[in-house]
Structure 1
Amino acid sequence: MRKHRIWIVGLLSVLMTFGILTIKTQALTFDELPQVQESDHWIISIKEATNDTRIEKPDPKKFDTYELDIQNKAGQLGSVIVRAYRDEAQTNVRYGLAVLDEQRSEELTKLDGKAVYSAMSVTEKAKKIEVDVLWTSGEEGDRPYKETFVFTH
C-alpha cells in the first residue's frame, strides 16, 4: 500500500511540475485593433505597426510592435509632450516605450493636429500601456496639464 502512495505522489508531482513549466507567456496583445481612448482634449489610438523596414518584426512569444497615434481635439496649445510606458513585472516601475518631445509633437499644438510614433515594442511581461500627455495652453504663467490613458488587454 505504501508503494502505491509513493508512486501516486510521485506521479502527481511530475504532472504538476510539467503543468507549471508549460504555462505559456504571451506578449501584451489586444483582441481588436485599433484600441482608442478619447477625452475632452485628446484622441489616443494604439494600432498595428506599419510595415516599415526599419521596424523589428514582432515575435508574439517575446514582444508585439504597435503604432501610437495622438490627435488634439481641444484647440490651440502652447506645447505638448507625449510619453508612453509599459508596466514592469512585480514592481511599480514603468518602462519607457515612446517619447514625443515638443519638437516631434509640434503638430499637436493645433486643433486636429496629429502625431505618430510608429515603433512601440511591448514585451511579453507587459500587462498595460500608459500614455501620458503633458501640455500648456501657451498663456504666460500657465501651468502644465497632464492626462493619462491606460490600455490593458
Structure 2
Amino acid sequence: MDILKQLDPQAILVLLMVIFAAIKAFFEKRKKGDGKEILGEETDPDLYQAYEEELTRQRRDLQIEISPPTSSQTSPPPLSLAVPFSTREATPPPPLPSTPVIPKLSIAEKQALEALKARKKASVRKARNSTKSRVYRHLSSPTAAREALLLAEILGPPKAMQGKG
C-alpha cells in the first residue's frame, strides 16, 4: 500500500480509465465477433448450395457433360542431370572505354560557359567579402561599443557571473 500512497491520484485515475476502456473494447469486439460468426455460418452453406444447384440446373438445360479432372495431364519432361552451361571458356566482353567522351561545344556555348563560371566565382567572393567586411566595420565602430555597454546595463551580468562578486 506504500506504492499507492506514493503515486499521484490523477495517475491512478488515468490508469483505471485505461483498464476500463480496454475491458470495454474487449467485450465489444467479442460481441461483434460472435455476431459475424453466426451470420457467416448461416449464409455460407446456403450460398454454396444455391450456386451448386444453379450449376446443375444449367448443365441439365444445356446438356453439358463435364468430365472429372484426370490425373494423366501432360506433365513437363523430367529435368536432365546434365549441366546446362557449356564447359568451354566464355570470352570476356570487350573493355569499356576508359576516357569519357566530352561533347564538343560551339564557340557561343564556350563563351556562355565561361561567363557562367566567372559570374559564379564573382558572386561567391562578393558575398563572402561583403559579410566579413560588414561585421568588421560594425565591431570596430564606436557605436558597437556603446550598444554593448547599453545592453550590459539593461541585461546585467551573464548568469555564469551572477553568483560571483
Q: By the TM > 0.5 criterion, same fold?
A: no
Larger Rg: 2
Greater RCO (CA < 8 Å, at least 6 residues apart): 1
What TM-score, normalized to structure 2?
0.23
Structure having the larger proportion of residues in helix = 2
What TM-score, normalized to structure 1?
0.24
